[in-house]
């Protein structure tokens, strides 16, 4: 079946496939180019090579069990994906997370945003030949991921945000690791500014290339750093504040020309604002409840055995994997409604009520059952407005779940962005859109 480009191409022009196996296309995009020499006369962008089927899978999973699937969309900033889905469901259920959990959500979201922007700019710079910048960005990302791993137990697919709060409290020594990450990231950002901002080669590759006007960006449904690079002031954290963002002071960086360089610069400035947000959240976050001293704590197996004959009064020594989610910390990090929150492991191990609550939470046709209706909620993702639309039929599974993926709208404009440019301009332009395959081909 001939493509639109093949039908319209003249005899003098050359048809060329860029991708999906081209390294700069990340294995998920095919661009059919009609060329006059190296100048692009026409193009057709073809997506869908990843075949994720995220939305259809979600219709066959319970509300709780589909949470790990959200990690796999924008896999560079999975915590923001978790947060968007969880807050959509909380809106439908009419519940709210404790204040400390709200601040933890903000900290983890901003760490994810920095990780997202570092990855985007690392790839964009490397594809322009700036391999040193790639190494610097990845170095900074390691410090960010160390903090995330310290709290969530994983670096990428975290599944950390929970309905009603978060899975576990912050690590007792998190401030030390987090402050180190902030200092090191600021050093790297300063180095990158020095390497690229006035670099003649980089400026020639990015300045006044793939210029997008405000009107064009809005017509394609752009949001996030790409929209703000055109000078449009729109950020979900400011337009519709959620979590604890309305308690924090930060700026929304804007561009002027809407070219590749502005998309780079807006992300650089956003990372500085994210660090500022994290520092404020650390100071304003309510203190955790005082920990209980565990004297002669029982192992889980002993507690289960003892609970069969008498009530267990002693504390239980939980697995290191459950650190931060002890019963004493539940009021700080999770809601109290038993219909929407998994009971503490201490209760599950030692009481009949706890094991019944646990069993009913996960049992088929029980668990979380929102009222019939529909809801939409969005958060500010790494690429822009990340929105979830959920339709409930009153069962424990969504009747319909749709994701508003921000990078789908941005990639939709790629054909117009590269029109009349050269083949070499496709690489930094595509890099500046921050295409994430799992989010695009959901």
End position of a domain, from candidates 362, 389, 406: 362
Q: How confident is the model at residue 9 (pLDDT cuts 50, 70, 90)?
A: low
| Mean pLDDT rounded to a whole number for the chain | 88
Could you tell me if 427 and 341 lie in one domain? Answer: no
Could you tell me if 210 and 283 lie in one domain? Answer: yes
Is residue 23 included in any domain, yes or no?
no
Query: What percentage of residues in the chain have a pLDDT greater than 70?
Result: 92
Could you tell me if 111 and 232 lie in one domain? Answer: yes
End position of a domain, from candidates 362, 378, 412: 362
**Block residue for tokens 């029982």:** 298
Biggest CA pair distance of the chain: 88
Could you tell me if 145 and 244 lie in one domain? Answer: yes
Is residue 354 included in any domain, yes or no?
yes
Could you tell me if 355 and 374 lie in one domain? Answer: no
Could you tell me if 382 and 401 lie in one domain? Answer: yes
User: d(Cα 256, Cα 258) in Å, to the nearest integer?
Assistant: 6
Nearest to 273 by CA among 157, 380, 378, 169: 380
Could you tell me if 120 and 58 lie in one domain? Answer: yes
Could you tell me if 179 and 211 lie in one domain? Answer: yes
Q: How confident is the model at residue 2 (pLDDT cuts 50, 70, 90)?
A: low
Is residue 343 included in any domain, yes or no?
yes
Specify the higher pLDDT residue, 19 or 214. 214
Specify the higher pLDDT residue, 192 or 303. 192
By CB neighbour count within 10 A (0-12 exposed, 13-18 middle, 19+ buried), where does 99 fall? middle
Could you tell me if 244 and 321 lie in one domain? Answer: no
164: left (phi over 0), alpha (psi -120 to 50) or beta: left
Query: Cβ–Cβ contacts within 10 Å for residue 175, how many?
Result: 11
CATH number of domain containing 137: 1.10.645.10
Is residue 29 included in any domain, yes or no?
no
Nearest to 210 by CA among 434, 34, 414: 414
* pLDDT confidence of residue 139: 93
User: d(Cα 415, Cα 395) in Å, to the nearest integer?
Assistant: 42
User: What's the structural domain count of the chain?
Assistant: 2
Is residue 5 included in any domain, yes or no?
no
Among 1-5, 63-67, 165-169, 274-278, whose mean pLDDT is lowest? 1-5
Following CA atoms 50, 52, 53, 57 in sequence, which dihedral angle do they give, to the nearest 10 degrees?
170
Confidence check: pLDDT of 1 > 60: no
Could you tell me if 241 and 333 lie in one domain? Answer: no
Question: What is the layout of strands, in order, in the sheet containing 400-404?
Answer: 373-380, 385-392, 400-404
Confidence check: pLDDT of 145 > 80: yes
Could you tell me if 279 and 335 lie in one domain? Answer: no
Specify the higher pLDDT residue, 372 or 340. 372
pLDDT in tens, 188-235: 999 999 999 999 999 999 999 999 999 999 999 999 999 999 999 999
Is residue 8 included in any domain, yes or no?
no
Is residue 39 included in any domain, yes or no?
no
Query: 335 near 100, Cβ under 8 Å?
Result: no
pLDDT in tens, 78-113: 999 999 999 999 999 999 999 999 999 999 999 999
For residue 175, the enclosing domain spans 54-288+370-440
Is residue 131 included in any domain, yes or no?
yes
Confidence check: pLDDT of 6 > 90: no
End position of a domain, from candidates 334, 362, 390: 362
User: d(Cα 395, Cα 366) in Å, to the nearest integer?
Assistant: 8
Could you tell me if 324 and 396 lie in one domain? Answer: no
Instruction: Report helix angle 99-127 to 260-284, nearest 10.
Output: 150
**Block residue for tokens 């395959």:** 437
Query: 414 near 433, Cβ under 8 Å?
Result: yes
């Amino acid at each position: 079946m001939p493509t639109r480009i093949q039908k319209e191409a003249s005899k003098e022009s050359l048809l060329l496939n860029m991708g999906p196996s081209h390294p700069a296309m990340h294995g998920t995009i095919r661009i059919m180019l009609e060329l006059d020499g190296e100048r692009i006369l026409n193009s057709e962008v073809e997506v869908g090579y990843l075949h994720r089927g995220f939305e259809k899978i979600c219709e066959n999973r319970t509300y709780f069990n589909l949470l790990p699937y959200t990690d796999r969309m924008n896999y560079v900033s999975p915590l923001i994906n978790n947060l968007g889905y969880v807050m959509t469901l909380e809106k439908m259920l009419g519940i709210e997370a404790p204040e400390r959990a709200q601040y933890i959500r903000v900290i983890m979201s901003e760490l994810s945003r920095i990780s997202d922007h570092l990855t985007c700019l690392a790839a964009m710079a490397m594809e322009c030949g700036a391999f040193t910048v790639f190494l610097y960005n990845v170095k900074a990302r390691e410090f960010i991921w160390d903090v995330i791993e310290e709290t969530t137990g994983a670096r990428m697919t975290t599944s950390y945000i929970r309905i009603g709060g978060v899975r576990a409290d912050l690590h007792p020594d998190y401030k030390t690791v987090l402050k180190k990450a902030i200092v090191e990231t600021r050093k790297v950002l300063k180095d990158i500014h020095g390497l690229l901002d006035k670099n003649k080669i980089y400026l020639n590759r990015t300045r006044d290339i793939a210029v997008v006007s405000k009107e064009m960006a809005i017509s394609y449904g752009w949001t996030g750093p790409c929209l703000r690079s055109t000078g449009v002031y729109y950020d979900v954290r400011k337009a519709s504040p959620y979590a604890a963002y309305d308690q924090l002071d930060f700026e929304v960086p804007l561009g002027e020309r809407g070219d590749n360089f502005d998309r780079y610069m807006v992300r650089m400035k956003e990372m500085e604002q994210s660090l500022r947000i994290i520092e404020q959240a650390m100071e304003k976050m309510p203190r955790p409840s005082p920990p209980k001293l565990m004297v002669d704590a029982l192992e889980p197996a002993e507690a289960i055995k003892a609970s069969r004959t008498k009530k267990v009064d002693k504390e239980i020594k939980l697995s290191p994997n459950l650190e931060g989610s002890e019963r004493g910390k539940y009021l700080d990090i999770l809601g109290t409604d038993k219909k929407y929150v998994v009971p503490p492991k201490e209760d599950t191990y030692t009481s009949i009520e706890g094991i019944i609550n646990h069993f009913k939470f996960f049992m088929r046709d029980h668990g979380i059952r929102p009222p019939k209706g529909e809801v939409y909620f969005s958060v500010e993702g790494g690429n822009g407005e990340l929105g979830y639309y959920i339709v409930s039929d009153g069962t424990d599974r969504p009747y319909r779940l749709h994701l508003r993926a921000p990078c789908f709208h941005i990639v939709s404009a790629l054909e117009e962005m590269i029109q009349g440019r050269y083949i070499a301009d496709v690489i930094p332009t595509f890099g500046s859109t921050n295409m994430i395959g799992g989010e695009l081909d959901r």
